A = this chain, B = another copy of it.
Amino acid sequence: MAMQVAAPSRRRPSLGRQKIEIRRIESEEARQVCFSKRRAGFFKKASELSILCSADVAAVVFSPAGKAYSFGHPSVECLLERFLPDSSSGAAARVRRGANNNGGGGMVGELNRQYGELRAMVEAHKARRERADEKIEMERAAGRWLPMDADVRRMSPEELMAFGTGLMAGQAAVSARADQMLRDALLIGRRPPTTTTAGFGFFHMPHY
Contact across chains for A52 and B31 when beta carbons are under 8 A apart: yes
Contact across chains for A128 and B131 when beta carbons are under 8 A apart: yes
Task: Report Cα–Cα, A79/B185, bound state, in Å.
Answer: 10
Contact across chains for B117 and A169 when beta carbons are under 8 A apart: yes
Task: Report Cα–Cα, A8/B192, bound state, in Å.
Answer: 46
Contact across chains for A190 and B85 when beta carbons are under 8 A apart: yes
Contact across chains for A133 and B132 when beta carbons are under 8 A apart: yes
Cβ contact of A89, chosen from B94, B129, B187, cutoff 8 A: B94
Cβ contact of A95, chosen from B112, B193, B194, cutoff 8 A: B112
Give chain B residues whose Cβ lies under 8 Å from the Cβ of A107: 96, 99, 108-109, 112, 148-149
Contact across chains for A96 and B86 when beta carbons are under 8 A apart: no
The 5 closest A-B pairs by CB, nearest first: A88-B98, A103-B157, A129-B134, A172-B178, A168-B178
Cβ contact of A60, chosen from B51, B83, B140, cutoff 8 A: B83
Contact across chains for A45 and B49 when beta carbons are under 8 A apart: no
Known: A75-B174, A108-B96, A200-B173. A53 touches B31 (CB 8 A): yes
A-B contact pairs, 28 of them (CB 8 A): A22-B48, A35-B49, A35-B55, A45-B45, A54-B180, A56-B177, A62-B79, A73-B173, A75-B174, A77-B88, A103-B161, A115-B150, A122-B122, A124-B126, A129-B134, A129-B135, A138-B184, A141-B181, A141-B184, A144-B177, A148-B164, A149-B157, A153-B160, A165-B181, A165-B193, A166-B197, A168-B171, A172-B177
Contact across chains for A118 and B84 when beta carbons are under 8 A apart: no
Best-buried of A176, A181, A195 by chain B (most CB within 10 Å): A181
Task: Report Cα–Cα, A72/B150, bound state, in Å.
Answer: 22
Q: Which residue of B lies closest to A110 (CB)?
A: B170
Cβ contact of A61, chosen from B57, B77, B135, B158, cutoff 8 A: B57
